[in-house]
């Protein structure tokens, strides 16, 4: 099978028609049989209009597979970007200790601290705080944005043990979920391709993401290192794999739509020459 890496597919220009009729709640009495038949007729028409045949679904699958292979072969060769994540290992369940994460993917960001017990699905404790991002910071400067985030992270860390416990023996490591298009250069670094979801800090485009956050952390004296930079799909895949080792793909359907999956490195033609420390090609993000 060869080594595997994580590939995420951005569903850009690919739309799959799907319509689910969740239910109909009738709040008032239907006064006549004729009115009820009219309601049922509308529902049948909606169901028929949304129906997708198996043959059509197969056509969509085949077309998407072609785009995926083209995206794996060369940069810009497909509507799907098939971006590199440099992730070649997923959680095994043996992880133990306290871990921190920061999630920035929209008008809110979250800070997380979780304690893992060393066995699969063994989450001993978790603490999450959500903060809205002031609208002016979404279009201001990268310094102001990351300083705001670092300030919130500092307050979160200071609450640990109500400030009564001694400082950690080792430097805290932070996982950074950054749900915007990024061209990664390593598992912990990447260059912003463009903003989405209402963000428009033009000076940040083309800049290294982790460096901006790390500078803000260092400025506030936070003894933390950004150890991983991932998209929300990769974070979702990692969590799924932590609970179930058979998990091989993840999909996000929200403000944006994206997906990632495990791919053999020998199938990723455009990653030739990009080696991990263990000699394999780490791959991912779309």
Instruction: Quote the pLDDT of residue 277.
Output: 42
Which residues have CB under 8 Å from 95's CB, separation 6+? 116, 118, 242
Q: Where are the domains of the chain?
A: 96-246
CA-to-CA distance for 231 and 10, rounded, in angstroms?
11
Q: Within 13 Å and on the Cβ side, how many CA atoms surround 27?
A: 0
Please tell me the predicted confidence (pLDDT) of residue 79.
86
pLDDT at 160: 72
Q: What is the pLDDT of residue 118?
A: 84
What does the pLDDT read at residue 27? 46
CATH 3.30.420.40 for domain 96-246, yes or no, is: yes
Query: Using CA atoms, how far apart are residues 206 and 212, in angstroms rounded to an integer?
Result: 12
* Structure confidence at residue 31 (pLDDT): 55
Q: Which residues are catalytic?
A: 197, 232
- 238 CB-near residues (< 8 Å, 6+ apart): 87, 90, 91, 230
pLDDT mean for each 10 residues of the chain (286 residues) = 49 34 42 76 85 90 92 88 86 88 89 88 87 93 95 88 53 89 90 92 94 94 91 91 90 84 84 53 44
Q: What is the pLDDT of residue 77?
A: 85
């Amino acid at each position: 099978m060869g080594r595997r890496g994580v590939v995420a597919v951005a569903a850009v220009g690919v739309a799959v028609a799907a319509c689910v009729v969740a239910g109909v709640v009738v709040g008032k009495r239907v006064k006549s049989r004729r009115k009820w038949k009219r309601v049922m007729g509308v529902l049948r028409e909606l169901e028929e209009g949304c129906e997708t045949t198996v043959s059509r679904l197969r056509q969509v699958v085949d077309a998407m597979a072609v785009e995926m292979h083209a995206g794996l072969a060369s940069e810009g060769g497909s509507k799907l970007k098939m971006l590199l994540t440099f992730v070649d290992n997923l959680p095994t369940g043996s992880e133990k200790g306290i871990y921190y994460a920061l999630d920035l993917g929209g008008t809110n960001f979250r800070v997380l601290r979780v304690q893992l017990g060393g066995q699969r699905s063994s989450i001993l404790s978790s603490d999450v705080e959500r903060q809205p991002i002031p609208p002016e910071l979404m279009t201001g400067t990268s310094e102001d944005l990351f300083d705001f985030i670092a300030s919130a992270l500092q307050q979160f860390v200071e609450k640990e043990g109500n400030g009564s416990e001694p400082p950690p023996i080792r430097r805290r490591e932070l996982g950074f979920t950054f749900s915007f298009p990024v061209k990664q250069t390593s598992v912990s670094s990447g260059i912003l391709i463009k903003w989405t979801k209402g963000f428009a800090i033009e000076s940040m485009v083309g800049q290294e993401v982790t460096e901006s956050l790390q500078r803000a952390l260092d400025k506030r004296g936070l003894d933390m290192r950004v150890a991983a930079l991932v998209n929300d799909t990769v974070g979702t895949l990692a969590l799924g794999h932590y609970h179930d080792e058979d998990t091989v793909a993840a999909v996000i359907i929200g403000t944006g739509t994206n997906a990632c999956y495990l791919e053999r490195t020998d199938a990723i033609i455009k990653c030739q020459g990009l080696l991990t420390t263990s000699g394999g090609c780490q791959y991912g993000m779309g």
